[in-house]
Amino acid sequence: MEFDVVVVGAGPAGSVAAWAAAEAGCDVLVLERKAEVGVPKQCAEGISAHGLEHAGIEPQDEWIATEISRALIYAPNGKEFEVPGDGYVLERRVFDKWLVVRAVEAGAEVKLLARARRALVDDGRVVGVEYEGVDGVHEVRARVTIAADGIESRIGRTAGLVPPLKPTEICTCAQYEMIGVDVEEDATHFFVDAEFFPGGYFWIFPKGEGRANVGVGIRGSESEPGDALKVLNRALEDHELISEAVAEAVPVEVNVGGVPVCGPVGRTYGDGILVVGDAARQVNPVTGGGLHTSLVCGRIAGEVAAEAIEEDDTSATFLKQYQDQWKEEFGRMFKYTLKASKILSEMSNEELNALAEALDREDILRLVKGEGVVKVAKKVIARKPSLLKYAKHLMK
Amino acid sequence: MVERCLGCAACAAVCPKDALTISGGKPEFGPECDDCGICAKVCPTGAIEDEGE
Lowest mean pLDDT among A297-306, A344-353, A377-386, B33-42: A377-386
Please check whether residue A258 is in contact with residue A216, taking contact to mean a CB–CB distance below 8 angstroms: no
Is the pLDDT at B51 greater than 80? The verdict is no
Beta-sheet strand order (sheet of A64-74): A46-48, A80-90, A64-74, A187-191, A201-208, A211-219, A170-179, A250-260
Q: Residues 75 to 134 of A: which have CB under 8 A from any B CB? A: 115, 117
User: Chain B within 8 Å of A166 (Cβ-Cβ)?
Assistant: yes
Long-range contact set of residues B49-53: C-beta below 8 Å, sequence gap at least 24: B49/A225, B49/A226, B50/B1, B50/B4, B51/B1, B51/B27
A298, A290, A241, A252: which is closest to A274 by C-alpha?
A: A298
CA A158 to chain centre: 22
Q: Is A321:A298 a contact under the CB 8 Å cutoff?
A: no
State the count of interchain CB pairs (< 8 A) between A and B: 88
Cβ separation A229–B18 shorter than 8 A: no
Tell me the pLDDT tens digit for each residue of A75-98: 999 999 999 999 999 999 999 999
Mean pLDDT of A173-179: 98
pLDDT of residue B50: 54
Rounded percentage of chain A residues whose pLDDT exceeds 90: 89
Which whole number is the average pLDDT over A159-175? 98
- Is residue A47 within 8 Å of A331, Cβ to Cβ? no
Interval A242-258 mean pLDDT? 98
For the segment A141-154, what is each residue's pLDDT rounded down to a tens digit? 999 999 999 999 99
* Better-scored residue on pLDDT, A368 or A6: A6
Integer Cα distance of A359 and A380 in angstroms: 7
The verdict on a CB contact (< 8 Å) between A174 and B44 is yes
pLDDT for residue A161? 98
Q: How confident is the model at residue B52 (pLDDT cuts 50, 70, 90)?
A: very low
User: Is the model more confident about A178 or about A369?
Assistant: A178
Helices vs strands, H then E, count in chain B: 3, 2
- Average pLDDT rounded to a whole number, residues A32-37: 95
Min distance A373 CA to chain B CA atoms (Å): 30
Q: Check residue B23 and give its pLDDT.
A: 80
Is the pLDDT higher at A246 or at A382?
A246
Is the pLDDT score of A1 beyond 80? no
Q: What is the pLDDT of residue B3?
A: 73
Closest CA to B9 of A330, A136, A279: A279
Radius of gyration of chain A (CA): 21
- Asked if A319 and A348 touch (Cβ cutoff 8 Å), the reply is no
Check pLDDT > 60 for residue A115: yes
pLDDT band at B26 (very low <50, low <70, confident <90, very high): confident
Could you tell me if B39 and B48 are in contact, meaning their C-beta atoms sit under 8 angstroms apart?
A: yes
Contacts of B38 (CB under 8 A, 6+ apart): A167, B14, B15, B16
**pTM given for the model:** 0.96
From CA A17, how far away is CA A8, in angstroms rounded? 10
- CA separation for the pair A260, A9 (Å, rounded): 17
- Tell me what pLDDT residue A269 has: 98
pLDDT on residue B25? 78
φ, ψ (nearest 5 deg) of residue A211? -90, 145
Task: With CA atoms as reference, report the closest residue to A15 among A88, A105, A91.
Answer: A105
Judged against a pLDDT cut of 70, whether residue A70 lies above it is answered with: yes
Answer whether A223 touches B (CB < 8 Å). yes
Q: Per-residue pLDDT for A396 more than 80? A: no
pLDDT at residue A391 greater than cutoff 50: yes
User: Would you put residue A57 in left (φ > 0), alpha (ψ -120 to 50) or beta?
Assistant: beta
Strands (E), chain A: 2-8, 28-31, 46-48, 64-74, 80-90, 109-111, 115-122, 125-133, 136-147, 170-179, 187-191, 201-208, 211-219, 250-260, 269-270, 273-275
A319 touches chain B (CB under 8 A): no
ipTM: 0.92
Residue A163's pLDDT is 97
Give the closest residue to A20 by CA, choosing from A57, A62, A61. Answer: A57
The candidate with the shortest Cα–Cα distance to A350, out of A7, A38, A79, is: A79
Q: A153: helix, coil or strand?
A: coil
Residue A172 backbone phi and psi in degrees, to 5: -95, 130
Q: pLDDT tens digits, residue range A218-238? A: 999 999 999 999 999 999 999
Amino acid at A253: E
Average pLDDT for residues A345-365, to the nearest whole number? Answer: 91
How close does chain B come to A284, measured CA to CA in Å? Answer: 18
CA atoms within 13 A on the CB side of A374: 4
Per DSSP, the three-state class of A45 is: coil
